[in-house]
Structure 1
Amino acid sequence: MAGVESIPEVKALDDRRRLIRIPDQIDVPLTPRVRRLIDTAEFHRLASISQLGLVSLVYPAATHSRFEHSLGVYRMALLYLKQLAHDERFAQAVSAEQGEQLIVAALLHDLGHWPFCHPLEDMRLPGVPRHEQFADRFLLHGEPAELLDQEWSVSPAQVASLLHGKPQDQASRILNSLLSGPIDIDKMDYLQRDSLHAGVPYGRNFDEPRLIGALCLNQQGDGLALSEKGRTAAEMMVFARYVMFSEVYWHHAVRGATAMLQRAFYELHTQLDLESLFHLTEQPMIAQLQSVAGDSPAGELLAGLFGPRRRLYKRLAQYNFIQQPDTYQKLARRPYPWLVACAEQFALQLSERIGQPVAPHEVLFDAPPVKLEVQFNVEIFYPKEDLYRELGQVSPVVQTLAQKQFDDYVKQVRIFLHPRLQSLVTPDLANELAHSAAAAAD
């Protein structure tokens, strides 16, 4: 039985006849059947959806697309398969046909993303689907589905199950760990790519070739692990992810912009045809939101983000798990409508204290969402001892982040104000009103 090394796309890693180049000087092999997939309208739509959305308001070069990222994840899948083909247990568990399912899942994994997908999903509002389920609109019907059936002999339903189903057997659990896990192909690409385009070094400070070269299966034989030689690379990847969240994804100004978008969407979502809206690419979606918002408070918020002049709300106060645990725990992981009620109570009380009107939308509370990030804990294999240990057990760098909640360290609770109000509120008053508003919202 042919193994994954026989898959045309894996073999094409060493064949330089058909390539597409993406940053940073990375050649991605394209077979004819891959090119036909990426030339579909459903996939090309990703070229007009930015990977990081509002991050570009703070890091101006972070305008790269989900199209580029998807090509990077596809290439990473090929590199993982090429390495794991040398692992005897992997070769026995995963056939070439299942390897091809992984390849198309890697290539199409972002097909269901719409513009600003993650911050809108985090709100968990009625009628807003998870992007994994939304992907089925593009994956199970139309040209991609036809190509998967005709040229890959892969069922679109199998790919959808691999992307967001519950794995039922050893092979699917292994492939699932490649797609979604501590050292998955998605993180391996986005940490480095986002870091590159944002113009910061943090997400590139780990040894990718060393980590890939250390890939093996875990003790149970149903997921990814690393051999001992990849331990340091894994530690550096843990820290890279921590710093990227701290300095880029949850940078205070990025979160201020995110809070503005979320509040605008919250005000508008019952007036929107969400099914139609989420099929749009970025600029048409922004235009649709602004058209529906008009001159309303939501329109004012959107103008500050997407109008001719950037006008972001200012950070008034922030609370974290270490320094202000009581306030943090009062506000973190609350349902979004509760945060809105809390912000409105804050605005009402602030109006009384400063003696001038404060509109409800001029105060925004931003907090870690209900859904938690994937924890980083991976097994390390010590061949001389024939023994597996958790990375958190052998690494002082990882131990805290493996045993404590990752989100608590990188995601802070913040209060943002309209710029006109910033000079009118002291930190002490902000703290007092935050506690009072939370009590009133409860």
Structure 2
Amino acid sequence: MSHPYRSIPELFDLQAGGPLVRIPHQLDVPFTPRVRSIVDTAEFQRLRHISQLGLASRIYPGATHSRFEHALGVFHNALKFLWQLGKDERFAAAVSPHQAEVLIVAALLHDLGHWPFCHPIEDMGLVDLPPHEQFAAEFLSPDRELGAVLRSEWGITAEEVLDVLVAKTQSPSLSLTRSILSGPIDIDKMDYLERDSLHSGVPYGRNFDRARLIQSLLVNEAGDGLAISSKGKTAAELMVFARYVMFSEVYWHHAVRSSTCMFARSFFELHKSLDLPVLFQQSEFDVIRQLREAGAGTDVAPLLEGLFGSKRRLYKRVLELSLYQTPELYRQIAGRPYADLQRMTERLSERVAHELSCNIGPVAVLIDAPPIHKEVEFKVDIYYPKERKYYPLSHVSPVVNALARTQFDDYVKRVRIFADPSLSKRLTGHPQFVEWLAEAAAS
């Protein structure tokens, strides 16, 4: 039986060999003429100048990889998924070759609308912030080179791609393709866990069997998402744990969060004076330059210089709160709107200045807390062919069950208080500091 997607050039080249581009780690990514036509556009090339992990490179020096590299990795995963899932008769019946090509393009372009430092900026939930989906639509507009390439080289409309990236219409086949790009086991997570781990120089995100997981993919019982055969259960468990540890040890590492907190406070103070639609279409280098220029002479100038100046100067951790150690105070602060956190910070700073009889600036103390939105929960079914039954992975896995019974965010994302290095020594371990924080949070 021939493969239903064998006519797709990229899938054929994945198996038979052909033009390719190599990305870490030792991945041969098919690079057909029509893939090259997308990659060579100005809209796609801008991803070269946006780092995948943003401020994490201040702590992990190797983590300077770009969204350009990540996009190619996600595209490569899409081909792997489609080759495997095409062997599933239910998938092939639901997803036509054209829809498979739309998914391939969506995989390449899934980060198209992102701008430099997108995640820490979006986490603040500012009301006047343009959504990154708006930028994706703009970059795909008919008068842009990329939109023209999709029509002429792929026979795909911008609306088809955008409907996969941000759901506008509903159908089982669309839900199925969307679950490949954004779901419990998706091509995005599978790439960023491994790639971020590789470039950060840590092993945590690579300790799962990627090939085995892909080989176990199939359609779920409802036909609107992915499931895993029982042979992939262990690989799925390891991927769940890899994600947990990467959040704990890299994405929410205390020094990474110090950098993120310093950046967020600076952007919060400056964003109303900036032309955000124009700023967000620029390179990371240009965004940093404009922020430093806008912040010169303001209270946040030391924060920006500590992050981006010639000498790194990060704020120090004074206090850390977790759900299991300080549940009441943690719940008072975690998930609060960013503007609330800033008012809380102001009250805390005033109290610190009064109690320590010192004159400190309004940004000498910073509060970092988990944002309002939560991470995607890991809900996927395992299929046991002998029984012909699907079971939730959390029901058959003690590892996943332990994570499923608790909120992922509550255990990997701490509330932290950071302070200027000149002040942090006086606050760390101070017997009354927790009391001051509690009063600031309650008032």
Residues 1:379 and 2:381 are matched in the alignment: yes
SS in 2 for 1:6: coil
Is 1:251 aligned with 2:246? no
SS at match of 2:432: helix
User: Structure 2 length normalisation: TM-score?
Assistant: 0.98
Cα deviation 1:107-150 (Å, max 9, x = unaligned)? 00011111110000000112212322321121234011111111
CA contact (8 A) 1:315 1:414 kept: yes
The answer to whether the 8 Å contact 1:52/1:63 transfers is: yes
Distance across 1 between alignment mates of 2:352 and 2:95: 61
CA distance in structure 2 between the partners assigned to 1:166 and 1:385 by the alignment? 37
Report if the CA contact (8 A) 1:235-1:397 is conserved.
yes
Partner of 1:432: 435
Conserved 8 A contact 1:210-1:233:
yes
1:61 match:
62
* Aligned counterpart in structure 2 of residue 182 of structure 1, from 181, 184, 191: 184
Task: Give the TM-score, by structure 1 length.
Answer: 0.98
Q: 2:52, 2:64 within 8 Å by CA — same for their partners in 1?
A: yes
AA paired with 2:77? Answer: M
Secondary structure of the corresponding residue to residue 316 of structure 1: strand
Of the three residues 218, 230, 236, the one matched with 1:228 is 230
Q: CA deviation at 1:292?
A: 1.0
Asked whether the 8 Å contact 2:62–2:199 carries over to 1, the reply is yes
Give CA deviations for 1:80-116 in whole Å, capped at 9, x if unaligned: 0000010010010000000000000000001111111
Q: Which shifted more, 358-367 or 81-90?
A: 358-367
Tell me what 2:272 maps to: 270
Equivalences for residues 82-231 of structure 1 within 5 A: 82-141=83-142, 142-231=144-233
Instruction: Tell me if structure 2 keeps the 8 A contact 1:332–1:368.
Output: yes
Separation in 2 of the partners of 1:238 and 1:40? 36
Please give the secondary structure, in 1, of the residue aligned with 2:418. Answer: strand
Work out the CA distance in 2 between the residues paired with 1:65 and 1:194.
Answer: 10
Residues 38-57 of structure 1 correspond to what in structure 2 (within 5 A)?
38-57=39-58
Q: 3-state DSSP class of the match of 1:404?
A: coil
Aligned partner of 1:14 in structure 2 is 15
Task: Give the conservation status (yes or no) of the 8 Å contact 2:3–2:87.
Answer: no
The equivalent of 2:335 in structure 1 is 333
**8 Å Cα contact 2:3-2:86 kept in structure 1:** no
- Indicate the larger mover: 303-312 or 160-169: 160-169
Check conservation: 1:123, 1:336, Cα contact below 8 A: yes
Question: What is the rounded CA distance, in whole Å, between the counterparts of 1:139 and 1:234 in structure 2?
Answer: 35
Q: Does 1:309 align with 2:308?
A: no
After superposition, give the CA deviation of every residue in 1:314-359 in whole Å (9 maximum; x if it has no partner).
0000101111111110000000000001011110000010001121
**Hey, what does 2:24 align to over in structure 1?**
23
The answer to whether the 8 Å contact 1:333/1:367 transfers is: yes
- Alignment partner of 2:6: what SS? helix
Q: Distance in 1 between matches of 2:364 and 2:282?
A: 29
Deviation at 1:19, TM superposition (A): 0.6
2:401 to 399, 402, 408: 399
User: In the aligned structure 2, how far is the partner of 1:217 from the partner of 1:162?
Assistant: 18
What is the identity, as a one-letter code, of the residue corresponding to 1:180?
A: S
Listed one character per residue, the Cα deviations across residues 170-197 of structure 1 (whole Å, up to 9, x for unaligned) are 1100001001100010000000000000
Which has the larger displacement, 127-136 or 4-13?
A: 127-136
Distance 1:284 1:349 in 2: 38
The secondary structure found in structure 2 opposite 1:310 is: coil
SS of residue in 2 equivalent to 1:125: coil
Shift of 1:427: 4.0
Q: Please tell me whether the aligned partners of residues 130 and 277 of structure 2 are also in contact (alpha carbons under 8 angstroms).
A: no
Moved more, 391-400 or 9-18: 9-18
Q: Pairwise CA RMSD of aligned residues?
A: 1.1
Confirm or deny: 8 A CA contact 1:316 1:427 kept in the other structure.
no
- Aligned equivalents of 1:193, 1:133: Cα separation in 2: 27
What SS is found at the alignment partner of 2:425? Answer: helix
Is the Cα contact below 8 Å between 1:167 and 1:173 reproduced in 2?
A: no
Give the deviation of 1:17 after TM superposition: 2.6
SS in 2 for 1:361: coil
TM-superposition CA deviations, 1:401-436 (whole Å, max 9, x none):
123211011000000001110121234322111101
AA aligned opposite 1:331: I
Instruction: Name the CA distance, whole Å, in 2 between partners of 1:40 and 1:110.
Output: 15
How far apart, CA to CA, are the structure 1 residues paired with 2:290 and 2:353? Answer: 33
Runs of 4+ in structure 1 deviating by more than 4 angstroms, as ranges, are none
1:300 aligns with 2:323: no
Equivalent residue runs for 1:63-78 within 5 Å:
63-78=64-79
Seen in structure 2, the aligned counterparts of structure 1 residues 2 and 200 have a Cα distance that, compared at 3 Å, is closer
Deviation at 1:249, TM superposition (A): 0.2
- Of the structure 1 ranges 267-276 and 11-20, higher mean CA displacement relative to structure 2 is found in 11-20
User: Could you tell me whether the CA contact under 8 Å between 2:205 and 2:243 is conserved in 1?
Assistant: yes
Query: Unpaired runs of 5+ in structure 1?
Result: none
